[in-house]
Structure 1
């Protein structure tokens, strides 16, 4: 099954279907396998470099207790501690229109439940939110991570998967805290650092291009995780990248960033609603940041003398992202039963790079590859969504992302013609790096629910590799960046 034939044809049409693209399209239409672009294996990626000696943790000190932060930024757990289980959300007033709980006493599925108040698409709500104080409250194979520890983003203590509980459980005396934010959600893990790790600290991962590289614990379910360089691998739209890191606004309670959208959530548990809401809130923040990204892209096009057509399409794309953010914040708010919107985004006015090499490298990573994968992911999400209203809203986003991907490829085609060898060499380097980064499965997320637009890590990884082969590959051949075969 040629799952992404329509996306490939759309992007090749944007490029004029020149070069060897005609044979690529013909092959796919005749039932033959589409042209393949080589995907480097994980062992050949930047994440497999030898650990830097500068990233070694300090020797274990038996007098240390609790969470220990090393000079290199690593955080590990010398001993178990009791966390503050305070949840900083407003309590239920009892006057809300829909009450899943009325008081904290109604929240008994987990310890330290709080009945919190919020407002959704169809009125005010009360629902349960949970935190933890100790490992025992989290259950077997988990540990309680205190809010404010290391790079943890959560605003209250959380239960994390744990293959170790303290440094004493590890041969190298380091039970490290991994808070891996891949651009859409945060995966919190405790894992031993070992000689098999491919990084020792975030400093080893700074060579990852424009990806928010960090040394994090990763592994498939049922396997002990190892420490690897993780990136912003959740691809939705065009990220706002500043100093090599994707930036987005933090969430805050506000109602003015929501589209008019309603769908049924009663069949979901409160825990599932909260997890799926967090996923969509993260996507919303990335879409919100994409507004700034396209605005900056427009200024770069003007600085480099781009044709009016590309500038106009970039402006339209920026307006598209306003709608995308409103839809995603509406989904997150509806699921959570409270207002969710973006906080301030001061990074939007950061210094702008307008040299050809920086422009082309960012265009490839964030546009040609990132937005192509985002468009394909949008199409894949639609296959599982059942609610008509939700599906229609997400279908509009998927169609817009396909146009944005086409804009990126057309812009690259223009840049290659306008700037010659300098642009071509920058594009080839960027594509090689992008194929490595997106050739791996993303980390397992806290929730998987295709009916509400949350794909599993293995499904997402497999689909991305398919897109790299069957869509990105033919486009590269069309531009002459990969030899025709």
Structure 2
């Protein structure tokens, strides 16, 4: 459907511009005809500008729905949040990929891809900070808190690299803007002892930790394998390894929740298991002007490949989570004991 709309838009611009030239400029035409021609030229300009904006929006919408190195999602009031776009410095390292031979549109697409990833990696930093606060409130051991902060530092490095690649491809000095919703959260007491708190921790650990970061790791690893540019390949390789470690942190948090939260945590885990299939990759339209081979050479996977790795991770996550709900040997032994008084 996207390609058909592009074709219609191109035809409309071409016809409007051509007729505008014919009607507007020959002095032999009447004043009314020349006015009509001027109107057609203006129309073609508006269509061109609107079409360009629509194409860029399509790319942004496409990339914001991919599983391209997302990291842990920052959820505020039930919605995923990322930093606003801004111009400046402070969030980019010195990495520079090869951009020669790329068209302006191809650089725009790749720039938006890395900008999307950069904003999500950046949002993962406060996401891990929030997780650390919650774990502290719930009496988690020091190892979990240490791993949370180490993961946040990983995300800082990821964000710096992604912003650098976004700047290099797009030619725009992008950086991270504010996340105003963070300041609107306010300080409210955590119901750490309630059953709902343990259920929420278990559910969030499975969906946002074990699954989401597991998918990000698999997708980044495959992107690294396919990427031709050495800078992109090295970037995705590092992200894949780190996100895999973050997924394991999600499993560690889930173990903690099940150990301390008991039946409430198990109920939250069961609810999360029921939601797994809903986390499958959405159906995405093609990006005009680029094909799947081009995307793969630059570390971006096709719709089919994204779906494959998402389903693969869902299956692995479900199997491992179901095993956690089975009675453990110690529990079975205790259930079979006879207590004498």
Q: Same fold (TM over 0.5)?
A: yes
What are the superposed Cα offsets for residues 136-161 of structure 1, whole Å, 9 maximum, x if unpaired?
x49xxxxx46xxxxxxxxxx73248x
CA distance in 2, matches of 1:232, 1:241: 16
What are the superposed Cα offsets for residues 213-236 of structure 1, whole Å, 9 maximum, x if unpaired?
xxxxxxxxxxxxxxxxxx966361
Structure with bigger gyration radius: 2
Question: Which one has the bigger strand percentage?
Answer: 1
- Please state whether the residue corresponding to 1:158 is helix, strand or coil: helix
Q: Is the 8 A contact 1:441 1:462 kept in 2?
A: no
CA distance in 2, matches of 1:274, 1:481: 50
Question: Which one has the bigger helix percentage?
Answer: 2
What are the superposed Cα offsets for residues 36-60 of structure 1, whole Å, 9 maximum, x if unpaired?
xxxxxxxxxxxxxxxxxxxxxxxxx
What are the superposed Cα offsets for residues 247-292 of structure 1, whole Å, 9 maximum, x if unpaired?
0012111122111212211121110100111111011000000000
Q: How does 1:419-430 map to 2 (within 5 A)?
A: 419-430=261-272
Q: Is the 8 A contact 1:238 1:290 kept in 2?
A: yes
- Please state whether the residue corresponding to 2:83 is helix, strand or coil: coil
Counterpart of 1:20 in structure 2 is none
Q: Among 227, 242, 247, which residue is 1:385 paired with? A: 227
Q: How does 1:195-206 map to 2 (within 5 A)?
A: none
Bigger mean CA deviation after superposition, 356-365 or 379-388: 356-365
TM-score computed with the length of structure 1 as normaliser: 0.52
1:261 aligns with 2:95: yes
- Structure 1 residue 474: Cα displacement: 3.2
CA RMSD of aligned residues (A): 2.9
Q: Which runs of 5+ in 2 are unaligned?
A: 1-11, 13-40, 329-341
1:405 aligns with 2:239: no
| Count of matched residue pairs | 274
- Structure 1 residue 478: Cα displacement: 3.2
- Please state whether the residue corresponding to 2:277 is helix, strand or coil: helix
Distance 1:263 1:344, change over 3 A: same
Counterpart of 1:475 in structure 2 is 320
CA distance in 2, matches of 1:233, 1:361: 22
Q: How does 1:306-325 map to 2 (within 5 A)?
A: 306-325=140-159
- Please state whether the residue corresponding to 1:290 is helix, strand or coil: helix
What are the superposed Cα offsets for residues 106-159 of structure 1, whole Å, 9 maximum, x if unpaired?
xxxxx99xxxxxxxxxxxxxxxxxx9622xx49xxxxx46xxxxxxxxxx7324
Q: How does 1:31-42 map to 2 (within 5 A)?
A: none
Counterpart of 1:444 in structure 2 is 285
Distance 1:402 1:417, change over 3 A: same
Q: Is the 8 A contact 2:89 2:175 kept in 1?
A: yes
- Please state whether the residue corresponding to 2:124 is helix, strand or coil: helix
CA distance in 2, matches of 1:437, 1:482: 27
- Please state whether the residue corresponding to 1:264 is helix, strand or coil: coil
Counterpart of 1:458 in structure 2 is 304
Q: Is the 8 A contact 2:226 2:297 kept in 1?
A: yes
After TM superposition, the runs of 4+ consecutive aligned structure 1 residues lying more than 6 A away are none
Distance 1:464 1:482, change over 3 A: farther
Counterpart of 1:133 in structure 2 is 46
- Please state whether the residue corresponding to 2:325 is helix, strand or coil: coil
What are the superposed Cα offsets for residues 304-323 of structure 1, whole Å, 9 maximum, x if unpaired?
11111111000100111100
Q: How does 1:21-420 map to 2 (within 5 A)?
A: 133-134=46-47, 137=48, 144=50, 157-159=53-55, 185-187=60-62, 234=67, 236-349=70-183, 350-351=185-186, 355-420=197-262
TM-score computed with the length of structure 2 as normaliser: 0.73
Q: Is the 8 A contact 1:261 1:390 kept in 2?
A: no
Distance 1:233 1:264, change over 3 A: closer
Q: Is the 8 A contact 1:132 1:158 kept in 2?
A: no
CA distance in 2, matches of 1:464, 1:475: 15
Distance 1:477 1:268, change over 3 A: same
- Structure 1 residue 393: Cα displacement: 2.1
Q: Is the 8 A contact 1:242 1:347 kept in 2?
A: yes
Distance 1:232 1:338, change over 3 A: closer
Q: Which runs of 5+ in 1 are unaligned?
A: 1-79, 81-110, 113-130, 139-143, 146-155, 161-178, 189-230
